[in-house]
Amino acid sequence: MMSLWRGSFINVAFDMVYPAELQKREEEICKDIADRLESENPRCHTIIKGIIRRGRFSLRR
């Protein structure tokens, strides 16, 4: 995640990875993330740059 200060607001840009079975909820997920970040700091402007869907996703290596 990257934050850039641009005058009166902060851009928060990141790529998102999530399981393929959530693809139908992609728009809802993006909106929820943006709403939560902006509720924490109204000056945040969320930019989700890349969305990667994984068939099988695990945080464990």
Model pTM above 0.85: no
Residue 32 has what pLDDT?
A: 92
The band of 2, judged by pLDDT with boundaries at 50, 70 and 90, is: low
Residues 15-26, mean pLDDT to the nearest whole number: 82
Q: For the chain, which residues make up each domain, given as ranges? A: 2-54
The pLDDT tens digits for 21-58 are 888 888 898 899 999 998 998 888 888 877 777 766 55
Reading the block at residue 22, the tokens are 């959530």
d(CA 41, CA 1): 16
